[in-house]
C-alpha cells in the first residue's frame, strides 16, 4: 500500500483542458471547487445549463418539502389529487409563493414546514434575481477584428496592421488598445521560457471609436519583429494578442475585447481591402462584407517586406 502522510483522504487529480488561441494546455493538480466559487460558476456557464440547474434545484426542493408534507397525513387541507402528487403540487405553489388558496396548512406541523419552504423560496428568488441581473447587466463589447494580420509598407516603413470595428456603431469613448506577442525563447543559460513582448502601436488611443480603427505597429529597428520572416517567426511559435477597452457612452460601462492570432494568420505583402466608397452626393459608404478580405500587393510595392512561404 502506498503511504499517505497525515492520513488524509487523497482526492483524485482533475485534468482540465484549456485553449489559449490555437494552443491547448492540459492542467493537473488544481481541484475545481464549484461550491466555493458558485457566483463565478454561474456567471460563466452557458444559458441552457444555467436554466437546467435552476430547474433541478426547484424540483429538488419541491420534492423534499413535498415528502415532508407526505410524512404527516392531514397536515395539508384539501389535498388534490390525493397522495404524494397533491402535496407535491402544494409544495410547488408554496416554494413559488403563489398560494392559490384551495390547499393550505391546517396543523402546526404543516404551518412549520410551509414557513421553512417559504423562507427557502424567498431566498432562492432573491439569489436567482441577483444572478440574472448580474448576467444581463454585464458589459459586453461588440468589437470585431479581422481574421488576419497583414504586413505591408506604410509611410516608408514595414508595418503590421490589424483592423477593428464597432458593430454597435455607438460612441466608445477613450478607446485604447495594446498589442502583445508571446513566443518561445531560450535564455543564455539554456532555460526555455514563454516570453511576453510588447509591440507598441503607432496610435494606441482613439477618442471616439464608432465605426472602424486600423491598428498599426511599425517594424523598424526598435521593433521586436525587426528582421523577422515567416520562417523565423514559425520557429518561435508566436501568439499575437490584441486587447482593447473603452467606455460605452450609452451606459458608462467599461468594455473590453480581445483577439488572438498565430503566425499562420499573418499575410505578408498584403493589404486589407478598402471598405470605403463615396457616392456622387459625397456620402461615404462602408461595406463591412469586405471587412476581412485581404489582397496581395504587387511585388513592386512590397520590397520592404520579407517574403513568406
d(CA 264, CA 239): 10
CA distance 92 to 98: 8
Residues 94 and 197 in one domain: no
Q: Which of 109, 137, 165 is the last residue of a domain?
A: 137
Are 108 and 251 in a shared domain? no
What pLDDT, on the 0 to 100 scale, is given for residue 29?
66
- List Cβ neighbours of 6 (8 Å cut-off, separation of 6 or more): none
**Do 119 and 156 fall within a single domain?**
no
Question: Could you give the maximum distance between any two Cα atoms of the chain, in Å?
Answer: 93
- Are residues 127 and 195 both part of a single domain? no
In contact, 266 and 309? CB cutoff 8 Å: no
3 found inside a domain: no
Q: What is the CATH number of the domain that holds 45?
A: 1.10.287.70
Residue 186 in contact with residue 199, Cβ under 8 Å? no
Half-sphere exposure of 124 (CA within 13 A, CB side): 20
Domain total of the chain: 2
Spatial CA neighbour of 308 closest among 253, 234, 231: 231
CA dihedral (168, 170, 171, 176) in degrees, to 10, reads 10
Residue 183 · residue 197 · CB < 8 Å: yes
Residues 6+ away with beta carbon under 8 Å from 301 = 152, 153
Per-residue model confidence (pLDDT) at position 174: 93
Report how far residue 50's alpha carbon sits from residue 280's, in angstroms, rounded to the nearest whole number: 52
Which grid cell is 163? Answer: 483592423
| Residue 225 belongs to some domain of the structure | yes
pLDDT (0 to 100) of residue 31: 66
Write down the pTM of the prediction. Answer: 0.72
Q: Residues 189, 206: contact at Cβ < 8 Å?
A: no
Burial (0-12, 13-18, 19+ Cβ within 10 Å), 109 = middle
277 and 161 co-located in one domain = yes
The reported pLDDT for the residue numbered 299 is: 65
Q: Whole domain around residue 93: which residue ranges?
A: 34-137
Report the residue count for the chain: 309
Last residue of a domain, which of 102, 137, 172?
A: 137
Residues 260 and 213: their CA atoms lie apart, in Å, by 17
Which segments of the chain have a pLDDT < 50?
Answer: 1-3, 9, 300-309
* CA distance linking residue 153 with residue 160, whole number of Å: 9
Q: Is 136 helix (H, G, I), strand (E, B) or coil?
A: helix
Amino acid at each position: 500500500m502506498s503511504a499517505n502522510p497525515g492520513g488524509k483522504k487523497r482526492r483524485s487529480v482533475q485534468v482540465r483542458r484549456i485553449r489559449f488561441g490555437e494552443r491547448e494546455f492540459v492542467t493537473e493538480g488544481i481541484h475545481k471547487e464549484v461550491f466555493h466559487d458558485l457566483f463565478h460558476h454561474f456567471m460563466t456557464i452557458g444559458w441552457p445549463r444555467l436554466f437546467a440547474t435552476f430547474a433541478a434545484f426547484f424540483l429538488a426542493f419541491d420534492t423534499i418539502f413535498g415528502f415532508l408534507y407526505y410524512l404527516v397525513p392531514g397536515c395539508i387541507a384539501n389535498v388534490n389529487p390525493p397522495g404524494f402528487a397533491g402535496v407535491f403540487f402544494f409544495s410547488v405553489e408554496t416554494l413559488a409563493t403563489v398560494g392559490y388558496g384551495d390547499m393550505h396548512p391546517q396543523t402546526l406541523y404543516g404551518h412549520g414546514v410551509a414557513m421553512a419552504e417559504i423562507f427557502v423560496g424567498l431566498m432562492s428568488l432573491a439569489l436567482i434575481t441577483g444572478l440574472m441581473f448580474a448576467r444581463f447587466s454585464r458589459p459586453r463589447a461588440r468589437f470585431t477584428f479581422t481574421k488576419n494580420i497583414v504586413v505591408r509598407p506604410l509611410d516608408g516603413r514595414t508595418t503590421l496592421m490589424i483592423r477593428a470595428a464597432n458593430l454597435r456603431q455607438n460612441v466608445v469613448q477613450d478607446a485604447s488598445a495594446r498589442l502583445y506577442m508571446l513566443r518561445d525563447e531560450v535564455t543564455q543559460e539554456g532555460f526555455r521560457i514563454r516570453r511576453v513582448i510588447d509591440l507598441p502601436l503607432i496610435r494606441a488611443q482613439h477618442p471616439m471609436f464608432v465605426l472602424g480603427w486600423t491598428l498599426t505597429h511599425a517594424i523598424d529597428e526598435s521593433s521586436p519583429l525587426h528582421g523577422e520572416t515567416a520562417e523565423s517567426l514559425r520557429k518561435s511559435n508566436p501568439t499575437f494578442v490584441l486587447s482593447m477597452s473603452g467606455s460605452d457612452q450609452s451606459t458608462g460601462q467599461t468594455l473590453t475585447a480581445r483577439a488572438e492570432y498565430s503566425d499562420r494568420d499573418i499575410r505578408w505583402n498584403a493589404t486589407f481591402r478598402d471598405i470605403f466608397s463615396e457616392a456622387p452626393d459625397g456620402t461615404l459608404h462602408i461595406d463591412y462584407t469586405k471587412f476581412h478580405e485581404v489582397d496581395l500587393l504587387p511585388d513592386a510595392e512590397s520590397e520592404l517586406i520579407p517574403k513568406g512561404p
